[in-house]
Amino acid sequence: MSDPHDALRDDPHLGPLVETHGELTLDPAEDFFARFVTSIIRQQVSMASAAATRERLFDAVDVTPEGIRAADDAVLRDAGLSRQKTRYVNNIADAFVENDYSTEFFAGMSDDDVRDELTSITGVGEWTADMQLLFALGRENVFPVGDLGIRKGVQAVFDEELTRAEMRDRAERWSPYRSYASLYLWRAVDD
């Protein structure tokens, strides 16, 4: 298998980003559950708001499946979670306990099977599942078209607005390293 950076360096759209930003790497989170909760916090809010809520939550409770389940919902809401997100993190904690989820649990599964398993949890949509594939499991070929930053990055590098289907089609050129391409597309927007 080739090196993802060499493959992307040869792409006329991503090559300049690889040169500018160097070799970005997938760095799977050490704590799968905590990363999952962070993704829930980040749903449909600004990064600044999510960071503040995350800090308050992680200060207020032990962010483990057992710690979330033991915490009173009022404590979770006081940390900044909406009623809906409080329900979602509780659902995820329940799923982790009931199914014994871990990185090892998902290791032999395809990306689609992981996505199906995770989206069966109420409150977990495709975007959240994709974030787990990328940032908790370190999968190399994930392209989260539901992410606003990815959509903006694609628009920036192709200099046109594309539908999600068109984005997926264009991203095929980056397979099997679409996760790395995603990292560069996020950087394109940060620039």
* Residues in CB range of 15: below 8 A, 6 or more apart: 8, 9
The one-letter amino acid code at 64 reads T
Contact criterion met (CB below 8 Å) for 5 and 15: no
| Rounded average pLDDT over 96-102 | 95
pTM score over 0.75 = yes
The band of 191, judged by pLDDT with boundaries at 50, 70 and 90, is low
For 42, the domain range is 32-135
pLDDT digits (tens, 9 = 90+) for 133-157: 999 999 999 999 999 999 999 999 9
Tell me how crowded residue 155 is: count the other CB atoms within 10 A of its CB.
16
Specify whether 18 is located in the same domain as 49: no
Q: What angle do CA 57, 59, 63 make, to 5 degrees?
A: 60
- Pick the last residue of a domain from 135, 154, 173: 135
Q: What is the CATH number of the domain that holds 174?
A: 1.10.1670.40
Tokens (6 digits) for 147: 């992410």
- Angstrom distance (rounded) from CA 37 to CA 142: 20
Closest among 105, 184, 104, 109 to 143, alpha carbons compared: 184
Looking at residue 151, the DSSP 8-state letter turns out to be H
Q: How many structural domains comprise the chain?
A: 2
